[in-house]
Amino acid sequence: MARARPSGSHGMLVRVYGGMPAWLRSLAIRLLKPTYPIAVVVVVFNARQEFLRLRHTYRDPAWRLPGGLVERGEDVAVAAAREVYEEASCVVRVLRIVDAVATGPSFDVAIVAELMEERPFVPNAETDAREWIGMARAGELPDVQERFVRAAWAVLYA
């Protein structure tokens, strides 16, 4: 059976696109198709079953979980560990993805991690304080982040 060929202007674009080398098709997609950035939000638990939250200098509400955008080609687990170290001076072991949700500006992937080493905190352009809090205070976070903490808790301690 013969394949139908697209016709009209759309058909012409499809044929041109199909004739492009792979590198040019990739470039065309990046230029013409808006992207949806992927971010990691990391729920870090310490040995006392407390989770880490940071006071961000540029967000409202300021107290949030660590996280940030995944760089092009970066694994989400690597991004999670990097963001926690950059923002909180903590070394973590990434365990697994526990949730994901489209939040508007990005697609947030929630990751649970365990604290391996807590280094002295140095305030920086993004965060000016860190603290460890218990589950009783999870409701102080923005709604979607509270959801992530509860999902991470269920994976580790339920």
Residue 40 tokens, joined: 């990691």
Alpha-helical (H) ranges within the chain are 8-19, 22-32, 76-88, 143-157
Of 70, 120, 121, 126, nearest in space to 100 by CA: 70
Q: pLDDT at position 76, please? A: 97
Helix (H), strand (E) at residue 39: strand 38-45
* Average pLDDT estimate for 131-154: 97
Among positive and negative, which fits the CA dihedral 70, 71, 77, 78? negative
pLDDT classification of 47: cutoffs 50, 70, 90:
very high
Question: pTM of the entire structure?
Answer: 0.80
CB 98 within 8 A of CB 148: yes
Distances (CA, A) of 83 to 80, 94, 101: 5, 12, 19
Superfamily of domain 38-157 in the CATH hierarchy: Nucleoside Triphosphate Pyrophosphohydrolase (3.90.79.10)
Radius of gyration of the chain from Cα atoms?
A: 21
What are the structural domain ranges in the chain? 7-35, 38-157
Q: pLDDT at position 99, please? A: 98
Give the number of other Cβ atoms within 10 Å of residue 87's Cβ.
22
